[in-house]
Amino acid sequence: MFQTVITVLFTTTIVYITYRIFRFYERRKRYPKGPIPLPLIGNILLFRGHKTHPLESLLSVRAQYGPVYTFYMGNDPFVFIHDVKIAKQLFSRTAFCGRQSTLIGKQICSDGGSDIIFTDYGQGWQSLSNVFKLAVRKYWTSNHMNGTVRQVVDTAVREMIAEEGVGRPFDPKDRIEVAFYCVVMSIAFGRIFTSKDPEYRRLHDITNVFFQLGDKLALIEFVPILRVPLFQYERLISHVRVLVGQELHN
């Protein structure tokens, strides 16, 4: 009797797993082509080996499948669009404007991920969008915007000349990145930042934490069973949110 029960349970489990796997791959037909995913983990293994940024993996997928492809994060399919014209056409329709709730969004964004970046499409998002557009238009047309950008860029150029010299070739990538960060931070926090500011270095290091986490962020987000062994990284994300909150209130 006991052996019969075990046999039935084992057979039922195998049938159920087979059915779920079949449904998983059957659902792929509804979406644009992309790399073949694995059940539970999707295409997350493709993030392995990137040296500077997870975007490297996505760019390699684009090179193989074109500007529109499906990339699975765990069991969830995500359609990536690398073409501006296609993106504008699709995102002008409400059917393509939704955004699912994410653990990372709840951790790093204000109001538990219900701000303009991570909130789902609806009346709340429309209200936030209208306020955001109004603020951007008002700020963009003011002299303060031009003055802020000019001051940050002038400072960056002076530092570049002083540290790199004149007439010597160098890679400007890091310098341009620093200038961009400083412009964004100066606009966001209402005062001028330079690469020498301790606050700039701190926020820049916080950003680098997310780049260093890389594929672990995707594992924590989309493969819940791995949140236990990767709990230390989830705690690190919470710590980053606290640091950002402290900077915003300083």
Mean pLDDT of the chain: 78
Q: Does residue 32 or residue 99 have the better pLDDT? A: 32
Query: 20 lies in a domain?
Result: yes
Query: 172 lies in a domain?
Result: no
Token pair 């780049």: residue: 211
**Structural domain span for residue 1:** 1-30
Query: 244 lies in a domain?
Result: no
Give the tokens for residue 203.
Answer: 């926020």
Q: Does residue 213 or residue 19 have the better pLDDT? A: 19
Other CB atoms within 10 A of residue 249 CB:
6
Structure confidence at residue 2 (pLDDT) = 67
What does the alpha-carbon distance between residue 80 and residue 46 come to, in Å, rounded to a whole number?
15
DSSP state of 226: G
pLDDT at 89 over 80: yes
- CA 145-205-100 angle, to 5 degrees, is 80
pLDDT at 163 over 60: yes
Query: 44 lies in a domain?
Result: no
DSSP state of 51: S
pLDDT at 247 over 60: no
Query: 23 lies in a domain?
Result: yes
pLDDT at 230 over 60: no
pLDDT at 45 over 90: no
pTM over 0.75: no
For residues 173-189, average pLDDT? 83
What does the alpha-carbon distance between residue 23 and residue 147 come to, in Å, rounded to a whole number?
57
Q: Which residues pair with 81 in a beta bridge?
A: 68
Domain count, the chain: 1
Query: 249 lies in a domain?
Result: no
Q: Of 7-16, 45-54, 137-146, 194-203, which range is least confident?
A: 45-54
* Three-state secondary structure call for residue 32: coil
Query: 25 lies in a domain?
Result: yes
Residue 64 — pLDDT band, cuts 50, 70, 90? Answer: very high
* Alpha carbon separation from 26 to 19, 21, 29 (Å, rounded): 10, 8, 6
Residue-wise over 97-110: b if at least 16 C-beta within 10 A, else e? eeeeebbbbebbbe
Crossing angle for the helix pair 173-189 and 143-164, to the nearest 10 degrees: 150
Give the tokens for residue 235.
Answer: 């705690």
Query: 15 lies in a domain?
Result: yes
Question: What's 67-134 look like in SS3?
Answer: CEEEEEECCEEEEEECCHHHHHHHHCCHHHCCCCCCHHHHHHCHHHHCCCCCCCCCHHHHHHHHHHHH
Question: What's 142-191 look like in SS3?
Answer: CHHHHHHHHHHHHHHHHHHHHHHCCCCCCCCHHHHHHHHHHHHHHHHHCC
End-to-end CA distance of the chain: 69
